[in-house]
Structures are given as C-alpha cells and as structure tokens.
Amino acid sequence: MDLMVHIYRYVIINLSNIFNVFSDPPISNQSRRHFGAARRNYHEPHEHFDLGPMNAICPYCGALHWMEEKLSDSSKSPPHFGMCCDDGKVQLPLLRAPARELQDLLQGEDAQCREFREKIRQYNMALAFTSLGANVDLTVNDPRHHGRSGWVFQIQGQLYHRSGALTAPDGTPPRYAQLYFYDLHVALQQRMHRNSNLREDTMCTLQRLIT
C-alpha cells in the first residue's frame, strides 16, 4: 500500500507531470511504414524461456530480483545486487506522508474516495499548469486494423508542454495555469464547468491543498 500511496501522491503533487493529451491528425503512411514492427499484433511464441521466480530479495532495500541478476562476485546466500541500491550504498529517505485530506481520499472506502481514485487522472488534469503537446497517433489503437491489444500511447517527434499566457485572452475562459491567478471560488467554477462529471467537494479539497 505504501508504494501505491507514493505513486498517487507523486501524480497529484507533481503538477508539472499533469497533462492533457491533444490529438493531431494521424501520421503519414510513409512514416507508418517505418514503425511497422511496433504495430504488429502480439502472438504468443511457441517456445517459452523461463527465468524462474523473481523472488531474490536485496538484503538492503528489499527490492525483488531474479537470482541471475546478482553481482558476479556475490554468493547466493545472501545474494547482493547492484542495480537497485548498489549493494546498500544508496539509501533514499522515504517520501513524506501526504496531507491528511489527500491520504483519506487515497485510502478511504466511501463513495467519494472511490470516485476520486477512479478518476484520479482527470482530477490531475483539471489542476494542471500545462497541457501535453505531442503528435499522437491514435490509429495504432484501432481494433479494426490492429486487433485487440493493450492501449498504446504512440507519438511522433517531440513531447512538449503547452502553456499559454498567464492571463486568458478576452472572451476566453481561463484554464490550466491561468486558473491559479483567480479567486478559489471562480477557479472552482471553471474547473467544474470543464469537468462536470467530477465531484465539486473533492475538487474543492484538492484546490485548497495545492493553492
């Protein structure tokens, strides 16, 4: 559970990583040919290579490894590993616990908490400073052409932040970072207007936490 809390907390707190995805027109057929290998449907191979269980534990940080990953000069009991904490040389302090209200939302079992966790990415985006700019190719997820498989986020070119002026142009409602220059009540109204399926009480709590 600690790891999940840290992940959720990172997603919520690190506003620079909270984006919207803007889709642009699909990439050209010529470009598509260059990425043909990434678009092939997955087929189970006839032969399997079994690495065995990933149950070797680093005695210093507790990371799980395959035994074959141990350092070449390490015995098997206890095994020593370099790729996690460099055999105990690196020790990172634990992240601080999130604010009480956020921890409640992350761990609570009532309807509000469950809704928050189900729509946590949308809450993130509603509170972001910037949006994501990328040439996103959505055709790779089209089951008519590529069969059913896991969702793929495929882009061409560079990822970049989309940030506008700090004040909204006349006649345009404020959004993203612009909302942080408004009274909380106005910002809440705007965020709920753009995300009417979210809960206002949760949005209000999150706003209070980060402003």
Residues contributing to the site for Zn ion (CB under 5 A)? 58, 60-61, 63, 84-85
Q: Is 63 or 120 the residue whose CB approaches Zn ion more closely? A: 63
CB of 29 to Zn ion, least distance (A): 47
Q: Kindly tell me which of 58 and 187 has the beta carbon lying closer to Zn ion.
A: 58
Q: Toward Zn ion, which CB reaches closer, 59 or 173?
A: 59
Q: Which residues are within 8 A (CB) of 16 and not within 5 positions of it... i.e. 6 or more apart?
A: 129, 130, 161
- The minimum distance between CB 60 and Zn ion, in angstroms, equals 5
At 39 the three-state DSSP class reads helix
Using the minimum distance from each CB to Zn ion, give the nearer residue, 37 or 92: 92
Minimum distance, C-beta of residue 72 to Zn ion, in the bound complex (Å): 16
- Cα of first residue to Cα of last residue in the chain, in angstroms, is 27
43: amino acid identity, one letter: H
The CB-of-82 to Zn ion minimum distance in angstroms stands at 8
> Could you give the angle at the alpha carbon of 163 between the alpha carbons of 162 and 169, nearest 5°?
125
